[in-house]
Structure formats: C-alpha cells, structure tokens
Structure 1
Amino acid sequence: MTKKMKETPQNSSSIFNRFAESARKNSAKKAFIYCSSGEKSTSPAPECQTYTYADILDRATAIAGLLKDIGTTSGSRAAICAENSPKWCASYLAVTAAGGVSVPMDSELGAGEIRNLLINSGASVIFTSRHTNDKVRGACEGLAVHQILLDSGEFNDIWENAKTGAAAPEVLSMPNDTASIIYTSGTTSTPKGVILTHKNFLSDAAAVIETGLITPSDNVLSVLPLHHTYPFMCTFLVPLFVGATITYPPSLKGQELISTIRTQSVTILIGIPRLLEMFLAAIDNKIAAKPETARRVINALNTVSHTLRRTLDINAGRYLFKAVQEAFGGQFRFISSGGARLKPDVMTRLESYGFTVVEGYGLTETSPVVTFNPLGKRRPGSAGVPLKGVEISAPRKTGNTPPPEGEILIKGPMVTTGYLNMPDETEKAFGADSTAVGWFHSGDLGYIDEDGYLFITGRSKEVIVLSSGKNVYPEDVEQAYSAIPLIKEMCVHASGPDTDAVRAIIVPDMDYAKRMNIATVENALRWEINKISTELPPYMRIKGFVIHSEPLPRTRLGKIKRFQLKAIASAAPEEGSNTPEGQPVTEPYAAAVISILKNLMELNRNISIEENLELDLGIDSLKRLELLGAIEEHFKARLPDGFGQAIHTVKELSDGVREFYERAGSNTGTAILTNEAQSGFKEMFSTPPDAHDLQKIGIRNSLPERLITRAVLWLIRQCIRRFYRGQLIGIENLTAPPYIISPNHTSYLDAFIVAALLPWAVFKNLYFQGAEDIFRSALAKLFARLGHVIPIDPNVNLEKAMTMSAYLLRQGLSLCIFPEGGRSVDGTLQVFKKGVGILSKECGVPVIPARIDGAYEALPRGAFLPKPACITLNLGKPIPPASGTYQSITEEVKARIAEMGRND
C-alpha cells in the first residue's frame, strides 16, 4: 500500500478541489460569520449568520448545478459584481466547480465600465446583488449575458435548500487552466485583464500557508473587496484552505469594525495602510481629548513601549495600553497591511500601543503575495522576505552605502501567464527587449538589504524626472509632508515634461482647521510646508500646490490613481465648475450674505449655502476681512472681534451673522443690496485702534526706551557692515512719509537689515508687521514694542493688525511689510499677499519695493549659525497708490523686486 501524500494545495488540481478537501476535514467548523445591520430587528446589535464548511460546500455544489443548467461549460467565463459575502465566495467556488473562469469586478464600477469589462472578458454569466443589479442590467443591454441576482427568490431557494451532502461535481480543470481574469485597478493606465491559473493561486496559497501566519484556529476579518487579489488570497482562499473562519462586519464604520472584532473573536485583520491610519488617528484623537497631565503620562509610557518593542521585541504596549487592546478583545493577534506601501511610523506607533503589524508585498500579476515580514522578525518600512518558491531580482544594499535603485523582477509559479488580449503588454512585462527575459517586470523600484528584506522605493512609471536629471519618488515626498496635521490627503505631480520642480494637490483636513481655529487654510498650509521644506533636499521640495476640496481619486485598496492628477491640477477653475449649483435662498440673512458674496467676488452664478468660503469661493484671509467689512456696512453695525475666524462655509457665516444681529436687536437683515460691489475696508479702517494696542507697538515709547532702541540698532548696523559689508542702495527713492516699504523675505536677518541700514530718522517713524507667534513671551513682547512690531495672526487678529496699520499710515507714519508672509525656502520669490495693495490704495500711500540680497546666503531657513555673505538693501522707485487694483499693485511690487539686481 502506497503511503498517502500529505494534503497541500499543490496536490489539488483546482481551487474547488482544494476547498472540497478542506471542507470534508472541517465540515462542522465555522467557515463564515456574516454580520448585517439587522434591518428587520429592533436590536441595535448586528445580526450574524453562521455557515459551516459543509454548508458552503453544499451551496457551492448547488450553484454549480445552476450554472451547468444555463449552459456553463469548461472555460466559460462568469463575472461576479457584488459586495463581499458568503454568497460571493460560494459563487466563485461554483464557477470553478463547473470548470469555468471567474471574472471578479469592482461593485462600485459604473454601468459603462462594467459593460467594457464584460465585452473584454467574454463573460456569458454575471452574478449581481441588490446593490449592483440596476447598473449591471444596463451594462448587459444588448449582450448575451445571463444575470443571476444573489438576492432573488430563485437564488435564495437554491441557497437555502441546497442538498446536504450532495456529491461534489467532478472538476476537469487542470493546474494550468485559467481560474480568474482579474482586472488591474488602473492607477496609471487603462485596466488590464490579468490571467491567473489554478496553479498560480494554489502555489501562492501554499507559500502563504507555510509561513504560519494564518492557522486553523484563526478568525479573519474580511473588509477589503474580493475582486482584488490581496483580499481574495488572504481573506478567502488561505483561510478556507487551512480551516480558519472568515467574518464579515456589518459595515466599514470604525466602531462597528472594532465591535465585530471583539464580539466575534476575530484574531486577524487584513487591511490596507489607510485603514491602519484610521485606527491610529482614532487612538490619537482619544488621547488628545484627555487632560494635559494624562497626555504626558501616556506619551511617556508610549516612549517606553516603543523602545522595548524596537530593541527587544517586547510587547509592553499590550499591558501598558490595556484599554486600547480590550476594545479589540484579548484574542486579537495581528494586523496585516498590503495593497500599498505602509508608512514606517504608522507601523511603529501602532506597535507601541500593543498591536502587531505585518506588511507584505505583491501584485495582481503574482497572485498576489511574494514577500511577507515574518511575525517574529518584522522590519518597519520593509515589504519582508520572499515566500517559498519566489525568486526576486533587485539591487543589493551592502554596508552603509546609500540604497541602490532598480526595478524589482519576479519569478515563481504564482506569476501570471500574461494579459488577456494584450500580447504586446505581455511581451513587455516579461522583458522581451531586455536581458531579463522570463522575469516578470513589476514596475516597482526597490532593493534588498543584507538580511534579504525587500524595500520598495517607488514605481518606475511614477518617478518624476526633473530637468536637472534628479529622480523624485512621489511617495517619499508625500510621506515627508504628511507630518502636517492640516493635510488630509496629498499627491505630488510634475507640472510638465520639462519640469524643474514638483508640485502638489492637497486635500486639507477641514475638521482639524475648525478645531484649531484656522480661518485661512492656504496660508497655514504654505507656512507649514515651508517648515518641512527646510528639512528636505532642494529637489524634493514642493514649489507650489493647489487645494482640492474632494477626496483624491483612489482604487478600492487606497492607491492614488495618478493618471487622473493632471486633469485635477490643470482643471480651469471656471465659475461653478467644482461647486454645487446653488438654489434660490429666501432666508433674509442668508440671502443678504450671498448677495454680498456675489458682489464681492464678482460672480455671475448662484452660490450654494453649503459652499466653502475658501475652497469653493477663493476667499483668502484679506478677502475675508473685506467680506466682514461689507457685511458690517450693509447691516450698519460692527461685528465683534474675532468673528468669522472659525467659520468656513456660507451657511456658517449666514447663521453667525443672523445670531449676532438678532441678539443685537438689528432689523436690517432684509435690506436689499444694489449691484455695486462694496469694499469693506473703508468702514474698517476708519475705526481707530485701542490705546492699549498702540502702546504695545511702541508708538508712545519713553525717551529711555527710544535711546535703548537706537543703541541696539547702531550695534546691529556695525555688525552688518563689518561682517557682511552691508550696503544701502536707493535711499533717494524714499519719498516723504507715509509710505510702505515692501522687501522680499528669505531670512530671519531681513527685518534687522532693514531696521539697521535705514537712517534713524527713517526708522523712528517706521513700523513692521511681524508674525504674532514669535512675540508671545514677555521678553518678545518687550522686543516688539522697542522694535515697532505689529504682531499679526491671520487666523485671529488680522483685522486688528490691518486697522492698526491703516491708522499708522493716516498718522503720517510708515510701514515695512514682507508681502510673502514667511521666509522663502530656496531664496526665490513666493506668492505675495495683497495686504500691501489694500493698504496702499485705501490709505493713499505709495509702496517702495525693496530687494534684500545676501541674507539667504548668510542665514537661510533651517540654518542656526550665520555664514559669510555680502548683504545689500536696495530701495526701488515708489509705486503710486492710484496705479491699479489691490491685486495689480501687489503684482507690480513683486515684478519690481524680481527685476532689481544687486547692482541696481
């Protein structure tokens, strides 16, 4: 008698046969736990149905019989377009049992996309659900495609009355027969149909099983759509092959996911980076809501836990953060991340809270898993080591040398045979024109370290090659700037084929902006981006960005569809193109506010009450002041200080206006506006500032204080002249005050250069606008008073600062304003704020453009010690206030500064 062979996936010719073997061994075990929202129940708890392995085998056998009855034969193609469920899985198994080829489709596709895939794949059958049935019906119009509705009475009869213990069909599929045609997600191009055989899937399943990651005692939570190979393999095939349980939550809401994990004793969560980031953010938010003392204790414990986990692999967080762990239940083992690259800090931070995070790597074309981090030897930032049977060719990193760059090539029994109806793409993928023929060319770039761990550095198709020849990997840049909490989503792109810098599309976190009272998101973003930029090499720095109010286009696994970015970045901001069409508003205050907005922004379209003031209407910090001034002029009453700083939408603005004026007893809310555009600055600037505020900026400094200031300036002037050969050029261009001096801004030295190089007679009547966050301590406030500084915070007291500035100009004094608002990262001119133009025009004073050279070389952003340089302050010819609009005056200032050279 021959010895019985050990049962492994390799010994089974088809996916169905392999499942049938497992089902017979584990017949009474739970295969699926399917939790729904409990629509028919009054209980808030989800309703969960349990299916054993025997149940699923019986149902798959019955559905296979249905397929044969409608003419499905060996090689026939059957699509599945439905949400995750045991019915989805049983239908897939039934297709393989009938000898057919399954074509899983994204249930979120539109009718046109579904139709294209049906035609391309040649499918003759499609499984649908109540959610997808209408669009599938439209997609099938005129096509010979039989539709099977998983929620229909006919199907439910088959499902509920499947014959127990019925003989499984004899499957004639051979290992090299096609099991599935999986369409790629299309992040960079049109989706391609990847041909995957039974051998591809079974060999990959065997390699994953051998790692011991998923065991018979595990319960795997399935949240990712099964039309992707990553969840298909890890939350369907592998669990069923080893005899584990698969659980479906009632929804993807965070609370319901966690509740399902706890109540159903889930041990493994198969996720993607965005899901892990969501869990981490939820933990951070709960900690942020605690008192400061508690936060300090938690941070200290977190540091201890992180150190122990990274150095000794001791999971102290499981005990130090027991409350976090208990939410998931004591049985929870680990979270797997795939589908996209996981940020190393997301892994390490989750592990400091007691979780275990395992990351792997693969592609649709590799069935998909080719590498995984061993449970006991995880490496942050790495995709892990190759699975058994996988060969990977990539550059090798040795010693302390910088990581090399090169494409990752893959060989193994899990690699696809090619693309459906695309011989040229198949030939290209296997390197017909290279020395690496026979290897699958992944399109991913990376390297292997000395311990055999694979690191992914980017996609070859996504690399941005600058005109300087430098290669920029978008994910690296995005990761660097993602530390900014105001950024919800971000994607880096090139502005053109000969670009010299990278730019970004940013989706801001408006909830965070509200919590932090950030009124002007663009200004705050620019400030934070400049801070990060100083820590990056020049070629990785963002040189411009656009704000996008909608989520970035992504695949269901969270990958950004980069081929759609160009359209987003270059889309003309035509009137109403990206905004909801407004309906007529009858509420008096809302109607008045909308009328003011239309006049102020010169719009010829309706404005929706839900539109965002900044993202949809383009209202920046200064335009916001003008808006509030126009509202005050219309209602003939002053709004309180700080009004509007936490307001972001038209509705919030109109509600705030109504509440204030109703409390104030105003009855003018129904007044009708004329069509003439109103300027809100005239009324605002006519109000004198508070005497206390004037004292804080040094307008009434005592004689000793003025003597101290003069002495300090003399010392600074001597230092600048001695060490930097400081020169003042163009003093003859200073007119009689009042005027506004407007220099470029590249260094912390700039204000000192202007103050010290100008004569005392000029300085004593000159006042500087400065960032308020620098002048908050008692010592800094004293410095501000002695140095004639007007502190400005665009989110809190911009109106007060502008009113103060206008008052000084009308008193015959002068201003120095840096219109860029912050220091340049690379010494080039940034966007100029139009506050200079507003003050010039409204107060009738000229602007003196000024160019500072050498300060960037002496002390650029990010530097702590000054370097030798030659510094000059060059004053240009005055720009008269009557020369144009706010914007045109500001643009003229920028153009003059750009034209001025060191020797002008």
Structure 2
Amino acid sequence: MLKNHGSKVAISYGNEQITYSNFFGKIELFSSLYDIGKGEHAVIYSENRPGWFYAFFSIWEKSGTAIPVDFMATVEEVSYILKDSAPSVLFVSAEKRPDAEKAVEKAGIITKVIEIDQYDLFQPEQISDNEFPEFNPDDTAVIIYTSGTTGSPKGVMLSYENLMANIRAVSDIIPIYTKNSRVMVLLPLHHIFPLVGTMIAPMYVGGRVAISPSMTSEDIINTLQQNQITILIGVPRLYAAIRKGIVDKINKSAIAKTLFALAKRVNSPAFSRKIFGTVHKKFGGYLKHLVSGGASLDPVVGSDFQTLGFEVLEGFGMTESAPMLTFTRPGMVRIGSPGQALPGTTLKIVDGEIIAKGKNIMKGYYNRPEETAQVLKDGWLYTGDLGYIDDDGYLYITGRKKEIIVLSNGKNINPVELEVKILASELVRDCGVFLSEDQLHAVIIPEDLTGNDLHSQIQSSVIEPLNQAVSSYKKIMRFYITWEELPRTRLGKLQRFKLADFAIEEEKETSFEAGELSEEFEMIAGFIASEKNKKVYPQHHLELDLGMDSLDKVGLQVYINQNFGVDIEAAELSGFGTVEKLVNYVSEKKTKMEDGKINWTEILREKVNFKMPVSWFSTRIMMRLSRFFFHLFFRFRSRGVENIPSGPCIIAPNHQSYFDGLFVSALLRTRQIRQTYFYAKAQHVKKPFLKFLANRNNVIVVDLNRNLKESIQKMAEVLKREKNLIIFPEGTRSESGQLGEFKKTFAILSRELNIPVVPVSIEGASDALPKGSIFPRFWKKVRVEFLQPVYPGEYSYEHITNAVRTRIAENMAGK
C-alpha cells in the first residue's frame, strides 16, 4: 500500500521535516516495541502528532487492526471501547496516559501500554529502505467507533478494500491526490474522514502532509503558508469561520464590497483569483482544493468561497462507507449538493432514504450482528438520511431519518444517551434533547416541585453536573422548562423534530409583547445579539442562555458606560442574571442614552489627563536586589530575555504568585527596567505612602472595575510614549498554577496601537508562594521564560488573546 520515497519529505511538523526514509524508520522502531498476531486489536488514544502516524502504520505492518479513539473522549467512553475491543496494545500520549490508565482499570482488561512521547522525538539519522507489506483486501484494517442508536458506540469494521475504494477514486480516477499534493492535517485523526483524507491517501500517492500544531487561526495560517498546502480538508464549521472573517473585512470597505458583488456577477474563477489575490496569498497561494465533509455545508458559505475564487468540493457519506458515498468533481460544483456518486458506488432512493452499494461499504459492526443486519441488507447500506438524486446524478440531502444529531464539526451525538442521564434525576419527569443553532438544547418537564426558583434548581442539580461529566461537544447549552406534555407519537416515540418549535412557543409565553420592549432593552439586546450572534429575550440569563464570558462582559460594561453613563462593576454585572433585570437597572440609573458601538480606536485616541510616574534609581536597585534574592533562595532559572523587542511592547506573563511581577522585571536589563511600567489596581494602593512609592517606581494606578475605559487609556498612554507595559492577562493569581482565562485588555491595546506582545511563561511560583501563604517556601524551582513575540497585524482581539495564551500553555506543557 505504501511506498518508500526515500529522501522526499513525508511529514512536516513545526520545524521538523520527516522524509519517507525517516518515516519508515520510525514505523520499524514502533513495530519493535510490541508483538501482536494477525487481526489483533491495537488502540491509539492521542492528539495529532507524527507519533500517531508511526503507531498507526506499525499496527498495519504487523497485520493488526488499528482502533483510533477520540483524544477528547471521557474516561467512561474510552473504557467502553477498551472493554468492547479488548486490544492487545494501547498507544497513548503522555498527556492522556492518566485517563487511559483509569479507563483500562475500569474496563478490567490487560493490555500493553506504550507512551508515544518516549519514542516520538525526530531523529534524522533514523532511516529505512524497507517497503511496506501488501495486505489481504478482505482483512479488517480499522475499527472506528461511532455513536449508536442505543447510546453505546458501535465499532465500524472497515477492510483494506473499503479504504482503497475511496482512495483510488480520488487519486486514480478523480485526480485530487497526486505525488505533488501537500495536505494539512488539522482534524483529529480518530475520524474516518481526516484519517483517510489527510493521512492514508496522501501517504498512498507519495505526497506530503503538514500537521498543524493546533486549531488556532495563527497555526492554521502558518501551516498553510510555510508548507504551500494544496489540499485543505475541513468540516463546515471551519469553512464558515474562515468565510465570516473574510466577509466581515469585505463589508468594512465600500470598494471591497463593490468588487465582491462584481465578482459574484462575473462568476469567473480566474477573475476572482486576480481580484482577491491577497486572500489567496493569505492561504499560502497554492491552495487548489478545499474539501468539506462530516456534515452539510451551508450553501451561502460555498457560494461566497466560489465568489472569492476558491472551489469547495463537498462530499457525503458516513463512517460505514469509509467514508465517502458521493463527491463533487472539480469544476462541477453545484451549490447545495455534495456531488455525484463516488466511482464504483451505486446510489438509490428507497422510500425517501438514501441507500448505497459498493466496495467501500463496511464489513459490519464489531460484535453487533443484529445491528449490522438493520443497516446492511442484500449488500445495500441504508444510511438513514433522506434525499433525492436529480437527472444529472447530483445528490441532495433533505433530512435525517435516524436519531443521531450531527454537529457542523462532524461530531455525532446520540440524544437518547443525554436524555437518559437527565431523566436519572428525581427532579425531572420527562425531557427531550434537540439541536438549535448548532448547539444542544433540552426541553424539561420537572416533577411537582415547590420553590421560587425552579430554573436554578434544575440548572445546579441536573444540567451543570451533566455538562461536567460529558465531552465538551455533548454539553447542554440551553434548556427550557414546561409543564405541557412533550410531542410524541401514539406509540410514545418522541417527535424530536417538533421540539425546536415547542421551545419557541415556550419562549413566546414568557417574553414581553413587542410593544412592551423599551428602547433601553432594544439597545442592550441589540449589542449582545451582535456580539453573540443570538436572538436575545428579556428572560435570557447572561451566562447560561447567552453564554457571556468575562471577555463579553468587559465589552458590555464599556458599552453601557459609553451609551448610558452607568458605571457597573464586574461583580454587579454578573449578579443581574437576566437581561431584563440589567435593563431595568440601566433604565433607572442612566444619565444619557446614545446608541453607538464600542470603538476602541476612538477611545484610545481621546486625550487623557495622565501624568507618567517618575522612574527613580531605587527601582533599578530593587530589581537587582530581587534578582540576587531569587537566585539565593530559590532554584531560579530564566531564558529568552532577548525576545523582548527594542521598541515598545506589552509583556504578558501568566499569574501564579505575588512575586510574579518581580520574577519578570528582575530579569530585565537596566535600560529595559527604566522603560518598563507596571499597573496596580486602585484597591491595592489606597494609602498615601503606597501612592507615593507607586508614582516614583514606574507603577500606574488603574481602577479596572470602576472605570475600565480610563484605565485602558492610561495604559495606552504608556505605550504611546514608547514604553513597555507588564500586564497579567488572567487578572488574578491561579490557585492551582494552571492557566486561567485570559482577558482581552492587552489584546485591545496591542491591536489598536500595533504593539507586539511578549508572552512570558512562569512555572513553580505557585509552589514558591502558594495563594494564602504569608512567607515563601525556599528552594523551590521557579522557571521564567520570555517567548517569541506575538505581532497583532490585522488579527482580532480574540485571536491575539488566544495566540498569547496558547504559546504560554504549550511552553508549560512542553517542560
């Protein structure tokens, strides 16, 4: 199946360039770590990385059956798969090993555990000239576990013939993959779609893959550009996010909007690529095929990409078809259709349901003969999807017959599984889970309970414990309480498709009539709706219903202050709960009413009455003494000071102790100390003596709670005068030493003033001075590292915030 192409690069991972000879050498190394017989099972439970490739192909080299597992699966979910499949070997990353060991114990199995990290390190001299063995086409190559109708996952058995039917179709017949293809590995490899599309197919044709370090925009763009990617494999949510970012920028420019409208009318790929050449260069300039699968692509997204000069090739299928049943041919895109039948695959519509036959259809479900018989009948796969085929052979999906809910990221969810967990509570009599706005919602009928706040009872006792116990994509993001019976058939089967309308009716009953909505409500609700892209009702809870996090609340605080003249502390904002209560308070306290968006550019241009603190020589002396003290009493290590640029910058460390400011500043050079300023919260500098010291030792006093706008303006003034500023993005110390949520104040300053941010990783400070301790614990190891700067460019506040946090997190995880 695989050929050794010698010195040709097979895998790019960061700065690593792994040739096919290296690749085959690593496969041999991994193969030497264990012994399994033909057809024996081996599980891979890890994040994407080169070691994932080595582990997978070593299983095939030893004629075993590979079983990839979602690295985000819970211990309970992994335990079920281990018990069901009884693997002889379990490959696991160091990060997932604790969960894997718990799952093994819970499953009650005996298996050899191999930690990938111990053998994953790239070694250029580790090469091999060997070729890969041939296989029996009927042997089981992989077992992919997918959600089942009963709540427990089913193992889909796919043979080598199943996989090769897909691969040959898109390489030999429809030449998407060639020896010159460069494919980005972005999606998690436990899914059959990326497993085949971003790993097996490129390796089969002798192409090259580049593994993106993460799903952040920065890593995706860097991987695209540095590796001249030609094929991008993604899910609809990814393409929707990319499209939104591009279209939002276009809409800000009258000229760009005009060109976009013109390109849509002209409908010429060559014209669009010329007009939007900058966009194409942003993606590396070599991107030829954008492939979407896992769920239906929004026609608007596909159409807009087409206008930009890209072509999104959409496919339809399922794990049971390894994975594609249809695929769009290049140059033959029809918006709204996932294309025509894959070569070698036959499609039919029976009673509205799509059924398929071909060499790509699975062998069956592992140890599930009865469930296999329900979907495989006389060689035909009954997909459970509804649709029709037009006269040209294009398939159109109209709905789903099966219960499984499919998110836009391709995740499959069995709602019955969640309903069983909710119904286990004595507070709940009946419930129904459904999909709305690509999130899981639930309608709940409570038992006959007394109490004034039934909603809070259900939230704290049922929904929150459930959300803590399941994977992130299975969380219930909103729920509705009703006393009416849920819509069911005469046989008692829940009519799930009616639940969304049922919830809307429930909202109408508790919402204000249109005439009762005040102007204040319209303004505040309009702002929240634009930020969260959701319709806002008076009874909506700011956090549970609208999902407002601390960053969203900062924006809301500024908006209310700017447009109503009302100062609200962060704690007060959280305490309001519903939009209605917040609006009532603002209506009562307002001193003005102006409807305007938050414009940080204008805010930071405003003149502010601010006197810069004086830099006394005592500051430098204190820093040097601190550095001596730290080296004397701690195992103090540092590096990376050279990463601080010569011009003004924001230094952004994580926060573990009271010493963090000194841990960072004590490492600065003398000139940098004079140029670097700190900020202190007003509540910590109340006494005259402390204010005196602050004004003479590079400390600016701000009040982030009472006057966020003025505080940010003061910080901006420091940067405008070409000084450095140390900001702790978490805002408060971490009790556990783990990274907390980063607030975007520093990102606003960085973006609006075009100032780079230097992330700083601090480790061990929480042990040296734990929260609540008065005296430090000496001889503890403390490490401080200044990382490569993050330059704002045209990125959003959220992107800059996430980029800085990711760099610190990756640095801490890598040590």
Task: Look up the SS of the partner of 1:519 in the other structure.
Answer: helix
Q: Which residue does the alignment assign to 2:49?
A: 85
Match of 1:135 in 2: 99
Equivalent residue for 2:82, pick from 118, 135, 158: 118
Shift of 1:548: 9.0
In structure 2, the residue matched to 1:658 is 706
Letter aligned with residue 275 of structure 1: L
The structure-2 alpha-carbon separation of the partners of 1:447 and 1:54, relative to structure 1 and needing over 3 Å to count, comes to same
Equivalent pair of 2:38/2:63 in contact (CA under 8 Å): yes
Q: Unpaired segments of 5 or more residues in structure 2?
A: 406-433, 440-475, 490-494, 505-520, 551-556, 558-568, 600-680, 682-701, 712-815
Aligned to 2:321: 366
- From 298, 302, 313, the counterpart of 2:256: 298
Offset of residue 390 of structure 1 = 0.5
Could you say what secondary structure the match of 2:11 adopts? Answer: strand
Which of 387, 398, 412 aligns to 1:457? It is 398
Paired residue for 2:584?
Answer: 626
For the Cα contact (< 8 Å) 1:95–1:101, is it kept in 2? yes
Match of 2:379?
Answer: 438
- 1:108 corresponds, among 61, 72, 90, to 72
Counterpart mapping for 1:748-897 below 5 A: none
Q: 1:836 maps to what in 2?
A: none
Answer yes or no: is the 8 Å Cα contact 1:492–1:504 preserved in 2.
Answer: no
Residue 546 to residue 105, structure 1, CA distance change in 2 (3 Å): farther
1:503 to 494, 501, 504: 501
Q: 1:661 to 1:504 in 2, by over 3 A?
A: same
SS in 2 for 1:73: coil
Deviation per residue, 1:524-543 (Å, 9 max, x gap):
69xx9999xxxxxxxxxxx9
- Structure 1 pair 492–415 and aligned structure 2 pair: CA distance change class (3 A): farther
After TM superposition, give the deviation of residue 272 of structure 1 in Å: 0.6
Q: Is the 8 A contact 2:349 2:388 kept in 1?
A: yes
1:262 corresponds in structure 2 to: 225
| CA distance in structure 2 between the partners assigned to 1:332 and 1:181 by the alignment | 32
- List per-residue Cα deviations over 1:220-264 (Å, max 9, x = no partner): 111011110100111011111111110112221113212221121
1:216 maps to 2:179: yes
Q: How does 1:44-193 map to 2 (within 5 A)?
A: 48-68=15-35, 72-141=36-105, 142-152=108-118, 155-156=119-120, 160=123, 164-165=127-128, 167=130, 173-185=135-147, 189-193=151-155
Q: Displacement, 1:57?
A: 1.5
User: Of 339, 348, 356, which aligns to 2:311?
Assistant: 356
Assess if the C-alpha contact under 8 Å between 1:82 and 1:132 holds in 2.
yes
Relative distance call for 1:459 and 1:162 in structure 2 (3 A) is farther
Contact 1:259 1:327 in 2 (8 A): no
Maintained 8 Å contact 1:492/1:503: no
SS in 2 for 1:332: coil
Provide Cα deviations, 1:459-499, integer angstroms capped at 9, x if missing partner: 112599xxxxxxxxx999989xxxxxxxxx99999953267
The structure-2 alpha-carbon separation of the partners of 1:524 and 1:237, relative to structure 1 and needing over 3 Å to count, comes to closer
How does 1:608-623 map onto structure 2 within 5 Å? 609=571, 617-620=577-580, 623=581
Contact 1:491 1:504 in 2 (8 A): no
CA distance in structure 2 between the aligned counterparts of 1:285 and 1:661, rounded to whole angstroms: 26
Q: SS in structure 2 opposite 1:28?
A: coil
TM-superposed CA distance for 1:200, in Å, is 1.2
Q: Does the aligned pair in 1 maintain the 2:541–2:579 contact within 8 Å?
A: no
3-state SS of the aligned residue for 1:33? strand
- Would you say the 8 A contact 1:478–1:492 is kept in 2? no
The answer for the alignment partner of 2:214 in structure 1 is 251
For residues 429 and 191 of structure 1, the distance between their equivalents in structure 2, rounded to whole angstroms, comes to: 15
Q: Deviation at 1:612?
A: 5.0
SS of alignment partner, residue 524 of structure 2: coil
Gapped regions of structure 1 (runs ≥ 5): 1-17, 36-47, 396-404, 432-436, 465-473, 480-488, 507-515, 532-542, 553-577, 582-588, 590-606, 633-637, 664-904
Provide, for residues 119-168 of structure 1, a one-character-per-residue CA deviation record: whole Å limited to 9, x for no partner: 1111121111122122112212253121111112xx258x7498633655
1:341 to 296, 301, 311: 296
The question of whether the paired residues in 2 share the 8 Å contact of 1:492 and 1:502 is answered with: no
Counterparts of 2:99 and 2:111 in 1: how far apart (Å)? 14
* 2:269 and 2:310 in contact (8 A); partners too: no
Alpha-carbon distance, 1:624 to partner: 2.7
Q: Distance in 2 between matches of 1:476 and 1:373?
A: 28
The Cα of 1:547 is off from its aligned counterpart by 7.3
Partner SS for 2:706? helix
User: Does the Cα contact within 8 Å between 2:167 and 2:201 map onto a contact in 1?
Assistant: yes
What is the deviation of 1:271? Answer: 0.6
Partner of 1:229: 192
Q: Does 1:207 align with 2:169?
A: yes
- Post-superposition offset of 1:34: 0.8
State the distance in 1 between where 2:142 and 2:256 align.
49
Residues 219 and 519 (structure 1), Cα distance of their counterparts in 2 relative to 1, 3 Å cut: same
Cα distance change on mapping 1:327 and 1:497 into 2, 3 Å = same
Preserved contact between residue 502 and residue 544 of structure 1 (Cα < 8 Å): no
Post-superposition shift, 1:92?
0.6
C-alpha distance 112-456 of structure 1, shift in aligned 2 (>3 A): same
TM-score by length of 1: 0.50
* In structure 2, distance between residues paired with 1:624 and 1:645: 18
TM-score, L = length of structure 2: 0.55
* Equivalent pairs, count: 499
How far 1:198 sits from its partner (Å)?
1.5
State how far apart, in whole Å, the 2-side matches of 1:414 and 1:344 are: 27
Query: How far apart in 1 are the matches of 2:88 and 2:396?
Result: 42
> CA 1:619–1:376 in structure 2 vs 1: closer, same or farther (change >3 Å)?
closer
Tell me which residue corresponds to 1:307.
265
Amino acid at match of 1:425: E
The 8 Å contact of residues 59 and 162 in structure 1, kept in 2 or not, is answered as no
- Gap change, CA 1:346 and 1:94, over 3 Å in 2: same
1:312-357 deviation per Cα after TM superposition (whole angstroms, max 9, x unaligned) = x543210111211121232221211101000111011011112121
Q: Distance in 2 between matches of 1:545 and 1:453?
A: 45
Look up the match of 2:442: none
- Structure 1 letter corresponding to 2:294: G
Q: Secondary structure at the match of 1:240?
A: helix
Looking at structure 2, the residues matched to 646 and 270 of structure 1 have their Cα atoms a distance apart, in angstroms, of 36
* Cα distance change, pair 54–662 in 1 and its aligned pair in 2 (3 A): closer
Contact 1:517 1:645 in 2 (8 A): no
Distance, in Å, in 1 between the alignment partners of 2:574 and 2:354 is: 44
Q: Cα deviations across residues 251-298 of structure 1 (Å, max 9, x unaligned)?
A: 21113212221121111110110000111111122234x4xxx32x22
Separation in 2, partners of 1:161, 1:302: 47
Q: Is 1:427 the equivalent of 2:373?
A: yes
Residues 1:490 and 1:118: Cα distance change in structure 2 (over 3 Å): closer
- What RMSD, in angstroms, separates the aligned Cα atoms of the two structures? 4.3
Query: Counterparts of 2:87 and 2:21 in 1: how far apart (Å)?
Result: 29
Give the whole-Å Cα distance in 2 for the aligned partners of 1:170 and 1:662: 68
Q: Identity percentage over the alignment?
A: 30
Deviations 1:700-736 (A, max 9, x none): xxxxxxxxxxxxxxxxxxxxxxxxxxxxxxxxxxxxx
Greater Rg by CA: 1
Match of 1:415 in 2: 361
Residue 134 to residue 523, structure 1, CA distance change in 2 (3 Å): closer
The question of whether the paired residues in 2 share the 8 Å contact of 1:504 and 1:544 is answered with no
Structure-1 separation of matches of 2:6 and 2:709: 72
